[in-house]
Amino acid sequence: MPARYNIEFFDQSSLKVYFPINMNLNNPAQRIAFGSTIIEAKCEQQPNGRNVISMSKGLAQKLQLPEFVKSIYLFENEDIIVFGPLIGIFSSGFTPYQIKPIGDRSSIFEKLLSVQSSVGVVPFLFGEQHIDWDQGMIDGYFFTKDGWETRRVPFPNVVYDRLPNRRSERLQASKMVKEKLSQDYLIPWYNPGFFNKLDVYERLLQSDIAEKYLPETFPFSSFSQIEQMLSKYGHVYMKPMNGSLGLGVHQILYHREEEAYYCRYHDQTNHLIKFKSLEALMKKVFGKKNLERMVVQQGISLMRYNQHPVDFRVHVNKNKDGEWELSAIAAKVAGSGSPTTHVKNGGSIKTIEEVFDNAEECQNYKQKLEKAALDLAVIIENQMEGIIGEIGYDFGIDTSGEIWLFEANSKPGRSIFKHPHLKEFDVLTRKLSLSFAVFLTEKAMKKPEELFL
């Protein structure tokens, strides 16, 4: 098993490293690796019994291991000792400005990379334009105490996909980078691609464990389909198959006494419009939309907080041992007249303790949500392509106390972490999203067939 150690650098040009006292060395001369760079160096045990790594600046320079690194893992791969993991965080939308290399999203990545020392990993940010394929090097962006720095480093041990949207994923350049690094260089690439709502639903439907959490969901086919679901459930939701952040979500309700249809949606402001017929509603609200890209979902009578519907955002991450764990949980309360609980639509974030007055009831639902999230993560991981390291769920709890899955997101938003009492979850999710690379680095060395076949 890899172990994490503090690392320090001494001023010497020789290629020399002193290993922690508790690390057994079979060979005084070893091959050392950092990312894709492998060189020979003189390796010795710490002479004074210290349990830290001491590396000459000459060796660090040869490996292109930045000297601001404070802690790092050691992996043994046959006769090679690997320092790492070196994590390439792949994204797009870079600017020519060093102070904000990726525009408004720079602050997001500053937070992500700021946990590197406490996790023992070496993460950097890069895009397709920063790769030197001929030299096998990347001019990556590192975040240090002095701000953003550009360093030339070897190809990484793993790549963490942080492309911002589906459009950037579809770019030929993005596809080429992923294909070459993962297939030609056998570098594990995790969190590839945004989920398609209907695809996830249909795959989960194959599992008896998952089925009980799933509201009826269909691709739009006809007005009569919506009529049937309205007759059965009283209200339905229409959502884009590839939507995110609550954009394009419409709630359609049927009022039996009035024999009228209502549509609630957000478009700059929240709207609630009454119609005499479903046809009139569809023509007015969806006239210019491509209905073939919409799904129709069973409406759920949600539990309420201060008379407003509430749902729950639950994050799970894979840790350094490759196991799923709960990393965040929060309640989202819908704004007045909003079809969703999203903050941009007037919603608000609460801790789960804030929405349950009774501590025992709160703990009960917390356990139910955690079980659902972890059970579904295993199923999604087995059913979907690629290496998945994090999932953000939107769950509902109905008035009978049953748990429902509304959405599973492979690249969940982080709006819940603006709540002052959810900061610990914010840090934990960032740490876990990077520490998963420790597991993948070890797996790629010991059992590559489990990742690449």
Residues 352-384 pLDDT 10s: 999 998 999 999 999 999 999 999 999 999 999
Mean pLDDT of 317-332: 97
Mean pLDDT of 98-112: 96
30 falls in which pLDDT band (50, 70, 90)? confident
- 3-84 maps to which CATH number? 2.40.40.20
CA pair distance 301, 41, nearest whole angstrom: 66
Report the helix count and the strand count for the chain, using DSSP H and E: 13, 26
Question: Which residues does 154 contact at the CB level (< 8 Å), separation at least 6?
Answer: 34, 35, 36, 37, 63, 64, 86, 136, 137, 138
Beta bridge partners of 192: none
CA pair distance 408, 22, nearest whole angstrom: 43
**Contact call for residues 330 and 416 (beta carbons, < 8 A):** yes
| Average pLDDT of the chain to the nearest whole number | 92
Q: Looking at the predicted structure, is the pLDDT value of residue 26 above 70?
A: no
**Contact call for residues 408 and 428 (beta carbons, < 8 A):** no
Angle at the Cα of 115 from the Cα atoms of 114 and 121, rounded to 5 degrees: 110
Residues 141-187 pLDDT 10s: 999 999 999 999 999 999 999 999 989 999 999 999 999 999 999 99
Q: Looking at the predicted structure, is the pLDDT value of residue 342 above 70?
A: no
What pLDDT does 240 receive?
A: 86
What pLDDT does 441 receive?
A: 98
Domain 197-214+302-441 CATH superfamily: ATP-grasp fold, B domain (3.30.470.20)
Residues 196-246 pLDDT 10s: 888 899 999 999 999 999 999 999 998 899 999 999 999 999 988 876 666
123 falls in which pLDDT band (50, 70, 90)? very high
CA pair distance 276, 261, nearest whole angstrom: 6
What pLDDT does 73 receive?
A: 97
Mean pLDDT of 40-52: 92
Q: Looking at the predicted structure, is the pLDDT value of residue 262 above 90?
A: yes
CA pair distance 149, 79, nearest whole angstrom: 33
Calculate the CA 239 to chain-centre distance.
22
418 falls in which pLDDT band (50, 70, 90)? confident
Q: Looking at the predicted structure, is the pLDDT value of residue 340 above 80?
A: no
79 falls in which pLDDT band (50, 70, 90)? confident
Strands (E), 299-347: 304-305, 308-318, 324-333
Mean pLDDT of 390-413: 94
